[in-house]
Amino acid sequence: MEQTHAAHAFATLGHPGRLAVFRLLMRFAPRGVRPTEIAQALGLKANTLSHHLSDLTDCGLVAMRREGRSLFYSVDLAVAEALLGYLALDLGRARPDLLSPLPTSRETTMRDTGYHVLFICSGNSARSIFAEALLRDLGGDKFVAHSAGTRPGSQLNPFALDVLARNGHDVGAMRSKHLSEFQEDGAPVMDFVFTVCDTAAAEECPPWPGQPITGHWGLPDPVKAEGTDAEKALAFARTYGGLRRRIEAFAALPVASLDRLTLQTRVDRIDADALTKD
């Protein structure tokens, strides 16, 4: 990346509002996000967000595409990679001690089995419970599945329990859990953290400390489905099916043989591929 281009990008990210927008879009990359959902997640006025998106697009960090009547904004990962490369390899080339703690493309994961995986959503009554049960039963001893919510209820949704039971999952020990259970001393160290809340709620699903592989599998909340019981049950079944496709692809990954960067790319690809079938 040329110095003038890098300076423009750094100056653009120097504003707290634009940095917050870019940070949110990076969490959803490579998926695009509607402006209304960004504004809702960050509490921004529409005209303020419009200025931020225009500046980020102008410097090349963010791209916009139109699908029908909707606009979607997403991070241009090639430009973001070039900017980070400029920061690390050009500005930082005289200080290898600063770069040595960063994982390299040759760094592989630590072991062959027992990866701790946490699925987060708001209520922990349906989507993240589906994901926990699916990975527990499809992943074998390769993974240890957990789920939690930012605002969990006291009970699991009865429609969700019915879907799990009809698909052969044991739900006897499953319960709704608050995210804080996994933030306490002695909690398992997570290797993977997935948010399965929808886009507008995603800012409530926090980034996880440390360096887990992360992914966002945003699916509509079936708890909000309206209509008859049959129509509600169908919404839960569709959500279960969408998560099953993702979990099957994730469980099949050769985790131990992939370096971190490749593994993150493969995780990102799972959601993009599944969206074509949802």
Each domain of the chain, given as residue ranges in start order, spans 3-94, 115-275
The reported pLDDT for the residue numbered 184 is 86
Q: How confident is the model at residue 99 (pLDDT cuts 50, 70, 90)?
A: low
Average pLDDT over the chain, rounded to an integer: 86
Is the Cβ–Cβ distance between 122 and 203 less than 8 Å? Answer: no
| 201, pLDDT greater than 50 | no
Which region among 36-40, 160-164, 190-194, 237-241 has the lowest average model confidence (pLDDT)? 36-40
Q: 34, 260, 45, 273: which is closest to 25 by C-alpha?
A: 34
Instruction: Using CA atoms of 270, 275, 277, 278 in order, give the dihedral in degrees to the nearest 10.
Output: 120
Whether 108 has a pLDDT exceeding 50, the answer reads: no
Contact between residue 189 and residue 117 where contact means Cβ atoms under 8 Å apart: no
In the DSSP assignment, the letter for residue 104 is P
Q: How confident is the model at residue 206 (pLDDT cuts 50, 70, 90)?
A: low
Cα(17)–Cα(138) distance, integer angstroms: 41
**115-275 is a CATH 3.40.50.2300 domain:** yes
Q: Which residues of 9-38 are buried (b: 16+ CB within 10 A; e: fewer)?
A: beebbeeeebebbbebbebbeebbbebebb
Does the domain made of 3-94 have the CATH classification 1.10.10.10?
Answer: yes
Going from the C-alpha of 248 to that of each of 28, 122, 125, the distances in angstroms are: 21, 23, 21
What are the DSSP calls for 211-267, one per residue? --EEEE-----GGG--SSHHHHHHHHHHHHHHHHHHHHHHHTS-GGGSBHHHHHHHH
Q: Is 58 exposed, middle or buried (0-12, 13-18, 19+ CB in 10 A)?
A: exposed
pLDDT at 200: 47
Question: Which two three-digit tokens encode residue 249?
Answer: 């692809």
Degrees (nearest 5) of the Cα angle 186, 140, 114? 30
Q: 90 pLDDT band (50/70/90 cuts)?
A: confident
15: CB partners within 8 A, 6+ apart: 52, 55
Do 190 and 208 touch, CB atoms closer than 8 A?
Answer: yes
Answer with the residue of higher pLDDT: 113 or 55: 55
- In sequence order, the 6+-apart residues with CB closer than 8 A to the CB of 265 are none
Vertex 207 angle, CA 204 and 208, to 5°: 125
pTM for the model stands at 0.74
Distances from the Cα of 136 to the Cα of 110, 146, 233, 247, angstroms? 20, 9, 23, 10
Q: In this predicted model, what pLDDT tens digit does every residue of 177-187 receive, in sequence order? A: 998 899 888 88
pLDDT of residue 94 exceeding 70: no
232 or 107: which leads in pLDDT: 232
Tokens found for residue 63: 């791209």
pLDDT value, residue 243? 95
